[in-house]
A and B are shown apart, each in its own frame.
Chain A
Amino acid sequence: GAVVSQHPSRVICKSGTSVKIECRSLDFQATTMFWYRQFPKQSLMLMATSNEGSKATYEQGVEKDKFLINHASLTLSTLTVTSAHPEDSSFYICSARAVRTGDLRSPLHFGNGTRLTVT
């Protein structure tokens, strides 16, 4: 079945540094990928929609200069948390749907998530 790989699974960084998270679709192409953030004991909140070959679309309240998204190919989207601060510590998870399947029935496939801790 369709697989989305997310790397790294866990990262600890110092305040002020930048962290890059990769999301790859392994056996399908994805023109659109989605980045979610999940704080402890809370639900997933959509941060942005990553569009292959064009700019990402950010949800209200998400700083586009802080959370840089690049979708350079049909199988890779990256999220870079720039100048990370402790309040950016969270679980980040990406999802994608196969490009040829516009069917609502096709589930979105999720990566395994990245737990970011900023010290």
Chain B
Amino acid sequence: AQKITQTQPGMFVQEKEAVTLDCTYDTSDPSYGLFWYKQPSSGEMIFLIYQGSYDQQNATEGRYSLNFQKARKSANLVISASQLGDSAMYFCAMTPPGGNMLTFGGGTRLMVKP
């Protein structure tokens, strides 16, 4: 079974600063995928970034980067230069081999202060 843990229920960050959202996972599968999604108050799930378990380099997508530490089973999301529009819930999620369904962490609510 897979498990995703996000230990920060809420985070504040000053606008234009960087912030790290924590995610740890547990799986016995050697092959898996890790995702981060953003959920604004409107409810839609917005894909941010993906990291494969065999990827050698940390994933980056614009202002988003993923700090992947496989031995520690962590996949923290780093958002650089925070913007007010970044205020939302952020979910870390995982897919098993074959990888269609997602197991979600509990989420972190990020609030960006002006």
A44's contact among B47, B52, B91, by CB below 8 Å, is which?
B91
A32's contact among B31, B37, B100, by CB below 8 Å, is which?
B100
Asked if A108 and B107 sit within 8 Å, CB to CB, the answer is no
| Contact-residue bracket for chain B | 20 to 34
Decide: A43 near B52, CB < 8 A? Known: A104-B33, A104-B95, A113-B43: no
Interface: A100 (CB within 8 A): no
Q: B105 to chain A: which residues have CB within 8 Å?
A: 43
Decide: A43 near B106, CB < 8 A? Known: A91-B43, A112-B43, A112-B44: yes
Interface: B102 (CB within 8 A): yes
Interface: A71 (CB within 8 A): no
| Residues of A within 8 A of B (CB-CB), count | 23
Asked if A43 and B44 sit within 8 Å, CB to CB, the answer is no
Q: Which residues of A contact B (CB under 8 A)?
A: 32, 34, 42-46, 49, 91, 93, 95, 97, 102, 104-105, 107-113, 115
Q: Which 4 A-B residue pairs are closest in the complex by CB-CB distance?
A: A110-B45, A104-B33, A104-B99, A107-B47
